Chains A and B, each alone.
Chain A
Amino acid sequence: MIWRYAGRRILATIPVMGFVALFVFSLLYFAPGDPAAIIAGDQASAEDIVRIRASLGLDRPFIVRFGEWLWQVLHGDLGTSIFANLPVAHMIGQRVEPTLSLMVLTLLFAVAVAVPLGVLAAARAGSWIDRVIMLFAVLGFSVPVFVVGYLLAWVFALQLDWLPVQGYVPLARGVLPWLRNLVMPVIALGAIYIALIARITRAAMLEVLGQDYIRTARAKGLGSLPVLFLHALKNASVPIVTVVGIGVALLIGGAVVTETVFAIPGIGRLVVDAILRRDYPVIQGVTLLFSVVYVLVNLAVDLLYSVLDPRIRQ
């Protein structure tokens, strides 16, 4: 049953991806800017730029370029970077590990911190503990990632000399060096995510804690922790899972800033650099990748709903 449901959902993503591909290509086609002008540099003439445009094939009609790109993508080829002359797939491959490390660690860190905080705030609703947690949530949501990043770097790198300011060490070179470089980025990026999940967890828990079966469980003499985590949290988990899923999009956006502040060579920086230079194949490749990831995460969330609440499948 669940497999049929999953199959239907996967098939439904195909037109979505097609639309994303067309949208991204059109957006870039009509956006101002020209990679030829950037390759040519400041000393080049207008004629030089025209010649470079022609040599790159950028003077061909929209439909020809889109058709060619789509054909390549359908054959598993994301094209070649206009500037670096390297395959886009290779460039993405170089950047996947840092971004994946950052996102997965941030997600784990945020869920591990935010869910207990949200549960605690709901359990002590109206108390000073609740207020402190919610104050923290408001701050986490309001302070931009780069401000948190700079503050962390100033304290832990420049003042205390505990952690490096920037860079990334691959996991293959040891867990500790890998973690050392990711501690500050994960905290900086996680702050906003913790705030979001903690607030949603608190709201969902408050709704569940007011229900009859919770009162019954307490009347039966169950302790606070089993009531909160075994009875209430499971039923409050659907909105929490939803917001975790939505948060992946936030993470993608936040990763761009975090990777820039901490000079992590991830996909976020790759796409920003590509946008600034109008490296069209790279922008298209990365956007397509982000779209696939986002669609898959949403699919996973939908499937999880049906596990957590079988009524949804009907």
Chain B
Amino acid sequence: MPVLGRRAALTLAAGALAAPAVARADAARVLRFVPQANLSSLDAVAGTQYVVRNAAAMVWETLYGVDASFTPRPQMCEGHEASADFRTWTFRLRPGLRWHDGERVTSRDVVASLQRWMVRDTMGQVIRGRLDALEAIDDRSVRFRLNKPFSKMLFALGKSNAPMALIMPERIARTDPFQLIGDYVGSGPMVFRKDEWVPGARAVFARFAGYQPRQEPGEWLAGGKRMNFERIEWQILPDPATAGAALQNGEVDWWETPIPDLVPLLRRNRDVVVDIADPLGNLGSLRMNHLFPPFSDVRARQALLMATSQSDYMEAVCGGDAALWQTTASFFTPGTALYTEDGGELLKGPRRYDAAKQLLAAAGYNGEKVILMVATDMAITKAEGDVTADMLGRIGMNVDYQALDWGTVGARRAKKDPPGKGGWHIFHTWHAGADCINPAPYTALDAGGDKAWFGWPNSPAVEDGIVAWYDAPDATAEKAAAAAINRAAFADVVYIPTGFFRQYQAWRRDVAGIARAPFPVFWGVRKG
């Protein structure tokens, strides 16, 4: 019978004693994150879903990246040269950049990636409209030659909203901009583990050993992206109660979107921190169809504006947590450089239901059905829809409340058919505050008629304001343009802002370094 020797026994005992420490060390190298939604793809150029953008920003990088003040800073680039008239922009890649498969990043990759991005992104389309040539000068340099000045090039290349100007290997960037990519090789700090991907359940990102972060401190999309984890595991937990329980039980480390109902419970747990991680929050939106009566008449839209009580909306959305919301007579994000309340008087003061009824009558409204599409599978749109149904009833409108899922609303809102034949009158959504800081990433503010966002508002004054912002030579001119846009957007009621609200995030107390940003920033986060 074999006998356990003294040395072997000591080794075993030491191993047993060390085991918990080893387990703790392993746990500290893995971050378990619960994202806001299922990660169904990874293409933040072809699609604009925030969850896709958040994942893609770990795998791919941009030439420039914005910091917390929205200042674009070099990321993949050493720097740039711009001609005095902003018609020629030259960028030089920093040395040593590698793709996850070991190949070098070249200017050909950059050209192909930007060509794909310019087809899909609003700012990209502006650049494309002014483009004479985008060319690779040598292996590390690319040059834009424009036929019209474009001073906002760095912001366009470094902005955080999708479609982002992500740089991909040329073979991937050649994919049709309207088709999703299936090859996920990037040059960012994390490698997407396609072999471990279980769509709808789990997505795994492993640290890219070949990544060389910049020397500056990391801030949002700028600076050194230093990863303190070997793996980041995204666990898709569609049920909020399960996600909350998993966080309390230490099975996950960070939950991106706890619902307000569960926040008091999470706050009572000493091992959990609850805080607002995105200071830029969101703008609620009531979107009307400008193509058909009654909302083809501006007076009908103004009637809704004067009946809109933002505090009702925000209380419904935020569950009575006053720290999370504020009213705002603006289309721009509160607290940001272009914020203005010019022209927002109709949203202020007591609500005027009788005056709204008179305006509706003047617009020719006579009790016809108004189709309100409500995505009841999303708490925010459900709350907004319920408040709108009540408000429309108060001003005498005949509401056809259609409870749908977001998939149906998303498809149906694109239909320009008359409301009685498959179309619609009103739907709700919300816009990330980071997208409402200026007109460039703000598709919901476009008012170019047929080419505008759903609802197809047509306001030449808003369009003029947007052009003025693009051409503004300095911050003062930009502010003036924003004020003009705000006035025009309220006068023509492009859409109705239903208030500004923030959302909480929650994480385990042993997790540190979570940045206040409009998207989860994984670099700089550590655990244990």
Q: Do A and B bind each other?
A: yes
Q: Given A33-B407, A273-B38, verify A45-B242 contact (CB < 8 Å).
A: no
Instruction: List A contacts of B237 (CB < 8 A).
Output: 166, 263
A40 with B47: CB separation less than 8 A? yes
Type the 1/0 row for A226-268, where 1 means its CB is closer than 8 Å to any CB of B: 0000000000000000000000000000000000111101000
Q: How far is the CA of A95 from the CA of B50 in the complex (A)?
A: 26
* Total interface residues in chain B, CB < 8 Å: 58
Among A134-142, A150-158, A192-200, A302-310, which stretch is in contact with chain B?
A150-158
How far, in Å, is A29 (CB) from chain B's closest CB? 13
Q: How far is the CA of A94 from the CA of B194 in the complex (A)?
A: 13
Interface residue? A59 (CB, 8 A) = no
Among B243-251, B307-315, B390-398, B470-478, which stretch is in contact with chain A?
B243-251
B200 with A41: CB separation less than 8 A? no
Instruction: List A contacts of B242 (CB < 8 A).
Output: 153, 165-166, 260-263
Interface residue? B120 (CB, 8 A) = yes
Closest-by-CB residue of B relative to A153 is B245
Type the 1/0 row for B23-50, where 1 means its CB is closer than 8 Å to any CB of A: 0000000000000001011000011111
Instruction: List B contacts of A48 (CB < 8 A).
Output: 120, 178
> In chain B, residues 398-434, which have Cβ atoms closer than 8 Å to a Cβ of chain A?
404-408, 410-414, 416, 429, 431
B451 with A45: CB separation less than 8 A? yes
A265 with B48: CB separation less than 8 A? no
B251 with A32: CB separation less than 8 A? no
Interface residue? B68 (CB, 8 A) = no
Instruction: List A contacts of B162 (CB < 8 A).
Output: 41, 43
Q: Given A40-B48, A261-B242, A277-B40, verify A33-B410 contact (CB < 8 Å).
A: yes
> In chain A, residues 32-48, which have Cβ atoms closer than 8 Å to a Cβ of chain B?
32-34, 36-48
Interface residue? A55 (CB, 8 A) = yes
Q: Given A261-B242, A263-B235, A263-B246, verify A41-B52 contact (CB < 8 Å).
A: yes
B251 with A37: CB separation less than 8 A? no
How far, in Å, is B202 (CB) from chain A's closest CB? 7
B248 with A46: CB separation less than 8 A? no
Interface residue? A175 (CB, 8 A) = no
Instruction: List B contacts of A178 (CB < 8 A).
Output: none
B451 with A55: CB separation less than 8 A? no
Q: How far is the CA of A56 from the CA of B162 in the complex (A)?
A: 21
Q: How far is the CA of A50 from the CA of B411 in the complex (A)?
A: 10
Instruction: List A contacts of B407 (CB < 8 A).
Output: 33-34, 37-38, 275-278
Closest-by-CB residue of B relative to A32 is B408
Q: How far is the CA of A45 from the CA of B442 in the complex (A)?
A: 12
A55 with B179: CB separation less than 8 A? yes
Closest-by-CB residue of A relative to B406 is A276
SS class of chain A's interface: helix, strand, loop or mixed? helix
Instruction: List B contacts of A51 (CB < 8 A).
Output: 178
Instruction: List B contacts of A153 (CB < 8 A).
Output: 242, 245
Interface residue? A84 (CB, 8 A) = yes
How far, in Å, is B217 (CB) from chain A's closest CB? 30
B249 with A157: CB separation less than 8 A? yes
A269 with B49: CB separation less than 8 A? no
Q: How far is the CA of A50 from the CA of B414 in the complex (A)?
A: 9
> In chain A, residues 143-177, which have Cβ atoms closer than 8 Å to a Cβ of chain B?
150, 153-154, 157-158, 161, 164-167
Interface residue? B180 (CB, 8 A) = yes
A45 with B443: CB separation less than 8 A? yes
Q: How far is the CA of A46 from the CA of B181 in the complex (A)?
A: 21
Q: How many contacts A-B (CB < 8 Å)?
A: 156
* Total interface residues in chain A, CB < 8 Å: 57
A34 with B410: CB separation less than 8 A? yes
Instruction: List B contacts of A263 (CB < 8 A).
Output: 201, 235-239, 242, 246
Interface residue? A299 (CB, 8 A) = no
Type the 1/0 row for B147-178, where 1 means its CB is closer than 8 Å to any CB of A: 00000000000000111000000000000101
Q: How far is the CA of A51 from the CA of B451 in the complex (A)?
A: 14
Instruction: List A contacts of B513 (CB < 8 A).
Output: none
Q: Given A51-B178, A265-B200, verify A166-B410 contact (CB < 8 Å).
A: no
B416 with A270: CB separation less than 8 A? no
Q: How far is the CA of A103 from the CA of B462 in the complex (A)?
A: 58
Instruction: List A contacts of B414 (CB < 8 A).
Output: 34, 37, 46, 49-50
B202 with A265: CB separation less than 8 A? yes
Q: Given A83-B41, A265-B200, verify A44-B48 contact (CB < 8 Å).
A: yes
Closest-by-CB residue of A relative to B269 is A158
Instruction: List B contacts of A55 (CB < 8 A).
Output: 176, 178-179
A42 with B49: CB separation less than 8 A? yes
Type the 1/0 row for A38-74, where 1 means its CB is closer than 8 Å to any CB of B: 1111111111111110111000000000000000000
Instruction: List B contacts of A165 (CB < 8 A).
Output: 242, 245-246, 249, 251
Closest-by-CB residue of B relative to A50 is B414
Interface residue? A86 (CB, 8 A) = yes
How far, in Å, is B447 (CB) from chain A's closest CB? 13
Closest-by-CB residue of A relative to B177 is A51
Instruction: List B contacts of A279 (CB < 8 A).
Output: 40
Interface residue? A111 (CB, 8 A) = no
Q: Given A55-B176, A263-B235, verify A83-B161 contact (CB < 8 Å).
A: no
How far, in Å, is B129 (CB) from chain A's closest CB? 16
Interface residue? B354 (CB, 8 A) = no
B451 with A265: CB separation less than 8 A? no
Instruction: List A contacts of B441 (CB < 8 A).
Output: 43
B246 with A39: CB separation less than 8 A? no
Interface residue? A216 (CB, 8 A) = no
Q: List 10 A-B contacts (CB under 8 A).
A: A33-B411, A38-B49, A44-B48, A45-B451, A83-B199, A153-B245, A161-B249, A166-B245, A265-B198, A276-B406
Closest 6 CB pairs of A and B: A41-B48, A34-B411, A265-B201, A85-B182, A43-B48, A37-B410
8 other A-B residue contacts (CB within 8 Å) besides A153-B242, A276-B407: A33-B408, A34-B407, A39-B41, A52-B179, A55-B178, A165-B246, A276-B406, A277-B407
Interface residues of B (CB under 8 A from A): 38, 40-41, 46-50, 52, 120, 161-163, 176, 178-182, 197-202, 235-239, 241-242, 245-246, 248-249, 251, 377, 404-408, 410-414, 416, 429, 431, 435, 441, 443, 451-454
Interface residues of A (CB under 8 A from B): 32-34, 36-52, 54-56, 81-86, 91, 94-95, 150, 153-154, 157-158, 161, 164-167, 260-263, 265, 269-270, 272-279
